[in-house]
Structure 1
Amino acid sequence: MDTFAEDLELLPATRRALRHRIAVAQRDGRAPSVVAAVARGGEVVWEGSRTSVEGHGPDGDVQYRIGSITKTFTAVLVMRLRDEGLLSLGDPVEKYLPGTGVGEVTVRQLLAHTAGLAAETPGEWWERTPAALRPELSAVLGERPLLHEPGTRFHYSNPGYTLLGSLVEAVRGTSWEQALRAEVLEPLGLDRTTAGPEAPHAGGWAVHPWADVMMPEPSEDLGLMASAGQLWSTTRDLARFATFLVRGDERVLSSESLREMRTSAAPTEGVAEPGYGFGLQLMDGSGRRLVGHGGSLPGFVAGLWLSEADDVAAVVLANCTSGLPATTVAVDLVTIVAAAEPRFPEPWRPFREADPVALDLCGPWYWGTSAQVVRLTSDGILELAPVGATGRTARFRAESDGSWTGLNGYYAGETLRAVRGADGRVSHLDLGSFVFTREPYDAQAPVPGGVDPRGWRGIG
């Protein structure tokens, strides 16, 4: 009997498609080398590389600089502090870092790039100059650190994540690097993710835009800016980290807190504006929701992207300053696997013991004349959806007082209550002041505005 057990090993045609995508990326991006990995089911199922050096190719153990993917690691450290009760996301940064001049900015806003801070530091290009030029936070922030009103818009900020790294140090009483090593890297077994390069590692190169020549890029220690982009890592370590970002690890961060990180926390300014959670970028690609982060520093580009629904993650690293779009290539690798070998859905299973109160809410309801249906899933979640039309859909979690709390969409955080009559039967549902009845405009229910006593009728 076929039990539809998930086979992690990829089909030959899928593996060839992945190799081809990397080959095209290396050629078109004119990268000295590119290395990639795909994870599925929590395991690395494919590794590939392409290089300009004959007979040599990097593998999943070769370090590259990962740039702003470092921000995701920093966000994990901050969320750990929140979960331990050492800070609140709504706290002003002034509480932990007095004298910065951005006191009203909150931890939450820094995580989501909504603090209004400048994108870069004042002075020379910080990624290509010594950290000694920025010895204090004042040198990172400058005389005019706020360009926008905090909380009003998404504006990507490297100084913002520098503040978060300093916040970690202030609360923990240790360096950002030491905290990261002890609290994240060691528990997750990411022993090839380091603040400085450790052999074997790639060298960073600048490739001339109009000629097939190149020169080495400097590799600077970022100092205070380390928490925004310092790390070196490998495709194997990052594939393992991508799995953690979905499944969680109680030694580091719970799956619930990681779900919070993967939820949009930044106001957008139209369809072209990327979504952002806490240390994670969000996008829609090829009909699927993708979460991850890109990174770049002189000499290197990086991309880590995953589709939770497809249980597929991809990592792409290259050693060129520009030219190879690592995020685009990583998303393409996810799409290749997800499209060619779609994930088997979990088998349908009935309840072992259904909640009779919840069952009483199942079936058709009406919001005015709009037909809706409530379903109870085997995980105890109520689902509300329109019948035969597009509209607001929502999922609700049961609470101890008998109410239900919205988990997504328009009704996220809203309370759903079943109101019962004197006979104990459910009269109607109350959802944020909306009344849902068993019949359209049921005269027996407290429909706002009342119901015409003559009832339904034709014209004339």
Structure 2
Amino acid sequence: MTTSLAVLGDDARADRMRAALAGRSAPFAIGVVTPDGARLAGAGSDRDAGFEIGSVSKGVTGLLYVDALERGEVGADTTLADVLPVAATPLAGVRLSDLATHRSRLPRSAPGTPVVRGSIDLVRHGTNPYGESLDQLLAQAPAVEFRRSSRPHYSNFGFALLGHAVAAAAGTTYADLIRTRVADPLGLDVFYCPATPAELRPASVRGHGRGGRVREPWTGEAIAPAGGIRASLPAMVRLLTALLDGTAPGRAALDPVADLGRGARIGAAWITVELRGRRITWHNGGTGGFRSWIGLDREAGVGAVVLSARSVSVDRAGFSLLTP
């Protein structure tokens, strides 16, 4: 990146940013927002290069869901059949509110989806296990079987449906909803969800597996709300700033409304935990070639985002930036 480590300053947080960047062989970027402003640092890519943010996309979908609630486009009892063509399927009665807190009892992935079959090719060849259209995703609806347990269960399938449902309620597509309600209002220049590799912007970063092999980009219309957004570090820092100052749409998505287990609570996708005397609201993400993390200490008015073009967890780096 054009921002060098040398300009970060000499405080403890800057030291932790340097430590997180040390020894990284793949493109890596860090942003920290405090009441005094923002610091950006990174290596291996241009400043405005687009990273896959993986399941951090769910946090964005949570914002859009709460924003739709506030606009009156959906309600607490809105079901999938109210907004998507799934009336004659098991999905008909699933409430959007349950999707937002992983309480829908839906499986992690859609039944019969190429994701299941593509996982082998992902491991062997680094190929994209996603790529379906929304129509292909909805075609899986009749075969859905719910989990027996009523405990929260993380579901990519559920959040994909949630995002497309919110977009349908607004009379648009998820990609356009991202643009009109998040990217354009907040000035996020690189913040979009490509449906195909042809839609990737020229500065897109190439992802790498744990061993360093290049991975195919994870693009696809269907998966976008659950894990398909691409963003630059400056765009993520602006989003983080908007979450802290209250100008982000649907900011109440960060407020926990239900237990998630092991002391954690969940809002609309966003997870809140107590760590070293601090309340941290966060989400992470992972694709075939990327890892990401975003978190906020709302009481202190600070936040951090970490983006990496290698499929090795960056959670520890993220939490370390907020918990000295």
State the TM-score, normalized to the length of structure 2.
Answer: 0.83
Residues in 1 aligned to 2:178 and 2:167: alpha-carbon distance in whole angstroms: 10
Asked if 2 retains the 8 angstrom alpha-carbon contact of 1:121 and 1:142, the reply is no
Aligned residue in 2 for 1:34: 28
Q: Distance in 2 between matches of 1:328 and 1:295?
A: 13
What one-letter code is carried by the residue in structure 2 that aligns with 1:313? G
RMSD of aligned alpha carbons: 2.5
Distance 1:86 1:32 in 2: 42
Name the structure 2 match of 1:258.
Answer: 251
Give 1:386-401 correspondences, 5 Å limit: none
Task: Identify the match of residue 177 of structure 2 among 173, 176, 179.
Answer: 179
The alignment partner of 2:259 has SS state of coil
* Correspondences of 1:204-243 after superposition (within 5 Å): 204-208=207-211, 214-243=212-241
* Structural mapping, 1:104-253, within 5 Å: 104-122=93-111, 123-125=113-115, 128-132=128-132, 135-141=135-141, 143-148=143-148, 152-196=150-194, 197-208=200-211, 214-249=212-247, 253=249
Structure 1 residue identity aligned to 2:50? Q
Gaps of 5+ in 1: 1-8, 51-56, 209-213, 337-460
> Aligned to 1:76, which of 50, 53, 63?
63
**Aligned-pair CA distance for 1:76:** 1.8
Query: Structure 1 CA distance, aligned partners of 2:165 and 2:204?
Result: 30
Question: Which structure shows the higher helix fraction?
Answer: 2
Q: Label 1:133 to 1:90 Cα distance change in 2 as closer, same or farther (>3 A).
A: closer
Asked whether the equivalents of residues 48 and 234 of structure 2 are also in contact (C-alpha less than 8 Å), the reply is yes
Equivalent residue for 1:306, pick from 277, 296, 320? 296
Q: Do 2:130 and 2:218's aligned partners in 1 also have CA atoms closer than 8 Å?
A: yes
| 1:31-79 superposed Cα distances (whole Å, 9 cap, x missing partner) | 51211111112731x22224xxxxxx33542211101111122222222
User: How far did 1:107 drift?
Assistant: 1.3
Q: Distance in 2 between matches of 1:42 and 1:186?
A: 25
Query: Structure 1 residues 268, 165: closer, same or farther in 2, change over 3 A?
Result: closer
The percentage of counterpart residues that share the same residue type is: 23
Once the two structures are TM-superposed, the CA of residue 95 in structure 1 deviates from its matched residue by 1.8
What pairs with 1:304-383 in structure 2 (closer than 5 Å)?
304-321=294-311, 323=312, 325-336=313-324
> In 2 relative to 1, CA 78–15 (structure 1 residues): closer, same or farther, beyond 3 Å?
closer
Query: Within 5 Å, which residues of 2 pair with 1:6-45?
Result: 12-14=10-12, 16-24=14-22, 26-27=23-24, 31-41=25-35, 43-44=37-38
Q: CA distance change for structure 1 residues 16 and 81 in 2, over 3 Å: closer, same or farther?
A: closer
Task: From the superposition, tell whether residues 310 and 204 of structure 1 become closer, same or farther in structure 2 (CA, over 3 Å).
Answer: same
Gaps of 5+ in 2: 1-6, 120-127, 195-199
CA distance in 1, matches of 2:271, 2:260: 12
Matching residue of 1:438: none
Query: What is the letter of the counterpart of residue 56 of structure 2?
Result: I
Query: What's the offset of the Cα at 1:16?
Result: 4.7
Closer, same or farther in 2 for the Cα pair 1:17/1:141, shift >3 Å?
farther
Deviations 1:110-131 (A, max 9, x none): 1111111111233433682352
Match of 2:260, SS state, is: coil
Is contact 1:47-1:60 (8 Å) kept?
no
Larger radius of gyration: 1
Distance (whole Å) between structure 2 residues aligned to residue 305 and residue 47 of structure 1? 15
**2:30 match: secondary structure:** strand
The one-letter amino acid paired with 1:41 is P
CA distance in 2, matches of 1:79, 1:16: 34
Report how far residue 146 of structure 1 moved: 1.4
Contact 1:118 1:146 in 2 (8 A): yes
C-alpha contact (below 8 Å) 1:42/1:243 kept by paired residues:
no
Residues 61-108 of structure 1 show CA distances to partners (whole Å, capped at 9, x for unaligned) of: 221110111112222222222111122122222222223412332111
1:220 CA displacement: 3.6
TM-score by length of 1: 0.60
Q: Number of aligned residue pairs: give it.
A: 300
Q: Which residue of 2 aligns with 1:47?
A: 40
Q: Name the SS of the counterpart of 1:267 in structure 2.
A: strand
Alignment equivalent of 1:297, drawn from 275, 287, 291: 287
Relative to 1, partners in 2 of residues 1:68 and 1:142: Cα closer, same or farther, differing over 3 Å? farther
User: Structure 1 residue 244: deviation in Å?
Assistant: 1.7
